[in-house]
Amino acid sequence: MLQKRSYQAKQSGPHFFEQKGPNAPKWFVVDAKDQVVGRLATVLARVIIGKHKPSFTRHADAGDFVIVLNADKVVFTRDKWNGKLYREHSGYISGLKTKTAKQMLESRPEEIIRQAVWGMINKSSLGRHQMKKLKIFTTAEHPHAAQDPQPLPAGVTRRTVVSPTAKKKQAL
């Protein structure tokens, strides 16, 4: 829908605002098995923000839902399992807790992907709302079958992130 607002809007031309009806959020499913965390997180962040759509609007939530499976089978490049540190603070004096990526994988493997995606999203109320569209599971099953999730389209994924169809082609 094209809307003209103020004098400045008339000078710069009409602006496009995303409509909720025809472009309702879609559900996508991604298998994180043997995927590099950072490369996977960039694709996930683009989808939940909505940058993969031509109707992307920075101030509006136009993103889609993403289901990530096998979050405990992700990989890091180089020696990040021991070198990468995850820090959280309780808010009290000397309340800093530090874990390595290997310790985080043992205790809360879904937090590795969640924190990687959170680092790529705006730190605002819109960003917090967009993070709710990311559903992460450590198994190959999920409770969102009623939403009929589809695999990510080829235009959304990067060459470094292997899609399920590309994995089948590599196996042949």
Distance CA(103)–CA(33), nearest Å, equals 18
Quick: pLDDT tens for 64-115.
999 999 999 999 999 999 999 999 999 999 999 999 999 999 999 999 999 9
Helix (H) or strand (E) segment spanning residue 16: strand 15-16
Q: How confident is the model at residue 60 (pLDDT cuts 50, 70, 90)?
A: confident
Q: How many other CB atoms are there within 10 angstroms of residue 102's CB atom? A: 13
Task: Domains for the chain: give ranges and CATH numbers.
Answer: 24-76+109-154 (3.90.1180.10)
- For 155, list phi and psi in degrees, rounded to 5: -70, -20
Q: Tokens at residue 142, please? A: 């999920």
Q: Which residues of 157-172 are buried (b: 16+ CB within 10 A; e: fewer)?
A: beeebbbeeeeeeeee
